[in-house]
Amino acid sequence: MSVWSQISAAVRELEEGRLVAIPTETVYGLAGNIEHPDSIDQIFKTKERPFFDPLIVHIGRINQLEALVSDFPKEAKILADHFWPGPLTLVLPRSEKVDSKITAGLDSVGIRMPSHPLTRRILRSLKSPVAAPSANRFGKTSPTQKEHVESEFPNADFFILDGGSSDRGIESSVIRASENRIEILRPGPIGAEEILSCFREYSICPKIEYVKSEAAPGHTPYHYQPDIPLVWSSRPTMSADDLMSIQRNLQLSSLQYRYLELPSDAQQAARVLYSELRRLAKTSIDFILFSTPTELKGDWRPLFDRLERASSLHI
């Protein structure tokens, strides 16, 4: 199927209220048309996702925002101008028109304009935006390739668009922007440094803070989990005692493991994190071991956030 036929198939499916797995620059999403309430139900059902976890609405044009929000603070507008299309989700006061199932009953809605060229084309061809969580079963590792979506949903009855490997590799930064205050609810590819330098261009210096995950329901302590346990060790090597403790805690009958090795550069590490977790989980080992690297370049905060939630045990 040519890329063009894939794009028109995806547009048709979404217009008619069926789900489509779409590639984005962060991770693959499971998209449903927000004008079709059945599609939204289907997303939660397919992912086995609890209803307290709100969905992100994906737009292709900035004028779609008007119908979705009741206010668009100056700080949020600056961020949208600067980072959209891109890996940034803005949490904004929602309009009455947004289905409360999408927002999990909150009075805000998360909105993002992704930059992946195929998905961008789809979103710009559609009449309405789509809601799209990451295309994985709830609590599991997010997919960064078409094959990952297929292995998450072996009996998938929805169309999966192949857009290659996701360039960023981890989910968007989720940010609430209000007057003079920027809250990072989920750390992601766009960090505090980049946000600050964006505001500097406008000679504004809002307060930027990372806030606890309760502000972003669904960003739960156990998340992004691979199919076999991930153990996070602060030590460079394992002692016999460490191994015994792992065996006891995880109730394992044998102790075969492999290291999750990541590049020291944060952006490169993010690009391979989930595919490495998936690759290792398919080998015949009992657990995956991650040892905090000694040399780190760039902003590792979002990576540590994902690794923390993906780990079953810390030693």
**Which 168-227 positions form the footprint of ligand TXA (CB under 6 A)?**
171-172, 174, 185-186, 216-219
55 vs 231 by CB, closer to ligand TXA: 55
Q: Work out whether 130 is an interface residue with ligand TXA (CB under 6 A).
A: no
> Does 89 participate in binding ligand TXA (rule CB under 6 A)?
yes
The helix or strand, by DSSP H or E, that contains position 30, with its residue range, turns out to be: strand 29-33
Choose the binding region for Mg ion from 89-97, 109-117, 128-136, 246-254 (rule: CB under 5 A). 128-136
Q: Under the criterion CB under 6 A, does residue 32 sit at the interface with ligand TXA?
A: no
Residue 167 engages ligand TXA in binding (rule: CB under 6 A): no
Separation of alpha carbons 115 and 106, rounded Å: 26
Nearest to 54 by CA among 97, 89, 19: 89
Residue 106 binds which entry of ligand TXA, Mg ion, none, with Cβ cut-offs from 5 to 8 Å by kind? Answer: ligand TXA
The count of residues interacting with ligand TXA (CB under 6 A) is 29
Per-residue contact string for residues 249-288; x = within reach of ligand TXA by CB under 6 A? ----------------------------------------
Nearer to Mg ion, 134 or 144 (CB): 134
Residue 238 falls in which region: left (phi positive, over 0), alpha (psi -120 to 50) or beta: beta
Q: Does 55 bind ligand TXA (CB under 6 A)?
A: yes
Q: What is the residue whose two structure tokens read 């994985």?
A: 136
Secondary structure element (H or E) that encloses residue 300, with its range: none
Count of alpha carbons within 13 Å of 5, Cβ hemisphere only?
2
129's contact among Mg ion, ligand TXA, none, with CB below 5 to 8 A by partner kind, is none
**Closer to Mg ion at the Cβ: 6 or 172?**
172
Block residue for tokens 């391979």? 272
| Nearest residue (CB) to ligand TXA, 128 versus 291 | 128
Helix (H, G, I), strand (E, B) or coil at 231: strand
Q: For residue 134, state whether it binds Mg ion (rule: CB under 5 A).
A: yes
> 205: how many CB neighbours lie within 10 A of its CB?
10
Distances (CA, A) of 202 to 42, 43, 79, 98, 206: 43, 39, 11, 31, 11
- Which uninterrupted H or E stretch holds 273? helix 266-281
Q: Which residue is nearest to Mg ion (CB)?
A: 134
**Closest residue by Cα to residue 95 from 104, 110, 105, 108:** 108
Strand arrangement, sheet containing 257-259? 257-259, 287-291, 230-233, 313-314
Packing angle of the helix pair 3-15, 117-125 (nearest 10 deg): 40
Q: Site for Mg ion (CB under 5 A): how many residues? A: 1
Minimum CB separation of residue 240 from Mg ion in Å reads 37
Nearer to Mg ion, 32 or 73 (CB): 32
Tokens of 111: 């909105």
Q: Which is nearer to ligand TXA, 103 or 233 (CB)?
A: 103
Whether residue 85 is preceded by a cis peptide bond, meaning omega within 30 degrees of 0, is yes
The CB-of-235 to ligand TXA minimum distance in angstroms stands at 31
Q: Contact residues for ligand TXA (CB under 6 A)?
A: 24, 26-27, 29, 53-56, 89, 91, 103, 106, 108-110, 112, 114, 132-134, 171-172, 174, 185-186, 216-219
Q: Contact residues for Mg ion (CB under 5 A)?
A: 134
